[in-house]
Structure formats: C-alpha cells, structure tokens
Amino acid sequence: MNVVLLAGSPSSPSRSHALLSHLQHELRRAGALCLTVALRDLPAQALLQADVSHADLQAALARVRDADAVVIATPIYKAAYSGLLKTFLDLLPQDCLAGKAVLPLATGGSIAHLLAIDYALKPVLHALGARHIADAVFVADPQARLQAGGHYEFDPAVIERLDRAVLGVLELAPRSRRNALATESI
C-alpha cells in the first residue's frame, strides 16, 4: 500500500507535521510504503501562481495520484485549514481522491475550532472525490510538548488516537480501492 502524507503547516518545527511523522512510522511498521510531502518545501511562486508545469509540483501531484491512501495534516488557521494546504489542494485534479482512503489531522491552539476539519476541510476532500474518510484526529497545542531535541512529544491519549487512525487507514484503503474498481467497471 502506497501512502502519501501531506504536511500543510508553513512552520518548522510543526506539531501537525509531528503527527504525520508518528503516523508514518506506524504505517511503515505495518508494511506501507510512505512518502511525506512537506508543502512548505514546494516552490512558493509556482504554488501561488498555480503553475503545474513546475517539475516539483508535478512530482508532488503525481505522488498523490499514485497513492492508495492520503494523510493530510494542517494547523488550524483562522478557524479553517492553512492557506498553504489550500494552494496545493486547488491544484489536484477533480476526483483525485476517489478510490483512496483519506485521513485528516489537525492541530489547533485550543479545542475551540475542533470542528474545523468537519466544516472546512471535509467538504473540500469530498469535492475531490474522497468517499472513504477515516476518523479525523484533532490535537490541541497543550497536548503537544516541544522537546529539547526540537521534536514534539504527544500525550499518551493522542498516541492512542493516532494508532487507531492508522488502523482506520489500513482498513479503509483496500475497501476504497475495491469500490473504485467496481465503479469503473459499471
């Protein structure tokens, strides 16, 4: 199973990217082939000008196209997902997420905008064809602590939720693929 993990924070270090790193580790342990795309490392001008002829953008878009599962992590900005993530999602072809398992993750300053994944991100994922969306994980900043080495450590309860999310992706990915193939052959 190919999994692409999209890191949607413009910051480094990043709590939402740290969630992805944990998931990537666990998905690899379960045998998945994983690749993380840090959107902040993509060429900014090409992203803002929607220049999909740029080789780096083409490579990143191809990773999503070829994945069986897509994990999307974003910080909550102004009660929605990050603008950086939006610039990338806007470049994905229509129905790009059809037949893929999709797992949304978000970190926010508090739980005030816990529902931002549901009212802001999920409609976009749906518009891109996602029909197999695993239970989202939202983590509030007090549940993540920056360590001396520059990495984040999460509360045990967060780790439990992330590990359940891994199981959700592993379970959904083959099902979403089967449904996509069935739809293609109708």
Ligand X SMILES: Cc1cc2nc3c(=O)[nH]c(=O)nc-3n(C[C@H](O)[C@H](O)[C@H](O)COP(=O)(O)O)c2cc1C
Question: Which residues form the interface with ligand X (CB under 6 A)?
Answer: 9, 11, 14-17, 75-79, 107-110, 112-113, 141
Half-sphere exposure of 129 (CA within 13 A, CB side): 19
- Angstrom distance (rounded) from CA 136 to CA 63: 22
Cβ at position 83, least distance to ligand X in Å: 9
Q: Can you list the alpha helix ranges (DSSP code H) found in the chain?
A: 15-29, 44-48, 55-66, 83-89, 116, 122-127, 156-185
Q: Which residues pair with 105 in a beta bridge?
A: 73, 137
> What does the alpha-carbon distance between residue 108 and residue 57 come to, in Å, rounded to a whole number?
27
Min dist CB 25 to ligand X, Å, is: 17
Closer of 165 and 173 to ligand X (Cβ): 165
Token readout for 51 is 């220049």
What is residue 151's three-state secondary structure? coil
Tell me, what DSSP letter sits at residue 113? G
Least distance from C-beta 108 to ligand X, angstroms? 3
β partners of residue 132: 101
CB of 150 to ligand X, least distance (A): 12
Least separation in angstroms between CB 52 and ligand X: 26
